[in-house]
A and B are shown apart, each in its own frame.
Chain A
Amino acid sequence: MEHAATPEWAMLAYLIAGVLFILSLRGLSSPETSQAGNRYGMIGMGIAVGTTLLLHPVGLPFIIGAIIIGGGIGYYIAQNIKMTAMPELVAGFHSLVGMAAVLVGCAAYLNPAAFNILDAVTNEIHSASRIEMGLGVAIGAITFSGSIIAFLKLSGRMSGNPIMLPGRHIINLGILAGILGLIGYFVTDQSAWVFWTITALSFAIGFLLIIPIGGADMPVVISMLNSYSGWAAAAMGFTLGNTAMIITGALVGSSGAILSYIMCKAMNRSFISVIAGGFGDAGGPAVAGAAIAKAYKAGSAEDAAFIMKNAESVIIVPGYGMAVSQAQHALREMGDLLKAEGVSVKYAIHPVAGRMPGHMNVLLAEANVSYDEVFELEDINSDFSQCDVAFVIGANDVTNPLAKTDKTSPIYGMPVLDVEKAKTVLFVKRSMGGVGYAGVDNPVFYMDNTMMLLADAKKMVETIVKNLGH
Chain B
Amino acid sequence: MEFLSIFSIFVMACFVGYYVVWSVTPALHTPLMAVTNAISSVIIVGALIASSAAAGGSDVSKWLGLLAVVLASVNIFGGFAVTRRMLAMYKKKDKKPAAAK
- Complex contact B77–A70 (CB within 8 A): yes
Chain B residues with CB below 8 A from A71, complex form = 73-74, 76-77
A247 interface residue (CB < 8 Å to B): yes
CB distance from B12 to the nearest CB of A (A): 8
Question: Contact: A229 with B40, CB < 8 Å?
Answer: yes
* A132 nearest CB across to chain B (Å): 10
Does A63 reach chain B (CB closer than 8 Å)? yes
- Assess the B27–A371 pair: CB atoms within 8 A: yes
B20 touches A25 (CB 8 A): yes
A450 within 8 Å of B by Cβ?
Answer: no
Question: Does B88 lie at the interface of the complex (its beta carbon under 8 Å from any beta carbon of A)?
Answer: yes
A362 to B52, CA, bound (A): 40
Q: What's the tally of chain B residues with a CB closer than 8 Å to chain A?
A: 84
Give chain A's interface residue range (CB within 8 Å of chain B).
35 or more
Stretch from A97-105, A158-166, A178-186, A455-463 at the B interface? A97-105
**Given contact pairs A110-B64, A248-B42, A31 touches B90 in the complex (Cβ within 8 A):** yes
CA distance A45 to B39 in the complex (A): 7
> When each residue 208-247 of chain A gets 1 if its CB lies under 8 Å from chain B and 0 otherwise, what string results?
0000000000000011001001101110111111111111
Task: Report A283 CB to chain B, min CB distance, Å.
Answer: 31
Cβ–Cβ contact B2 & A1, under 8 A: yes
Secondary structure dominating the interface of A? helix
A222 CB to nearest B CB, Å: 7
Q: Are the C-beta atoms of B36 and A226 separated by less than 8 Å?
A: yes
Q: Is the CB of B20 within 8 A of A99?
A: no
10 pairs across A/B with beta carbons < 8 Å? A31-B28, A31-B87, A100-B71, A106-B61, A108-B50, A115-B50, A251-B20, A252-B39, A357-B29, A361-B30
Nearest 9 pairs of A and B residues by beta carbon: A70-B73, A74-B78, A358-B29, A254-B17, A250-B13, A114-B53, A357-B29, A78-B81, A107-B50
Chain A residues in the interface with B (C-beta under 8 A): 1, 3, 11, 17-18, 21-22, 24-26, 28-31, 34-35, 37-38, 41-42, 44-45, 48-49, 52-53, 56-60, 62-63, 66-75, 77-79, 81, 83, 86, 89-90, 93-94, 96-97, 99-101, 103-104, 106-108, 110-111, 113-115, 128, 222-223, 226, 229-230, 232-234, 236-256, 258-259, 262, 349, 351, 356-359, 361-362, 365-366, 368, 370-374, 376
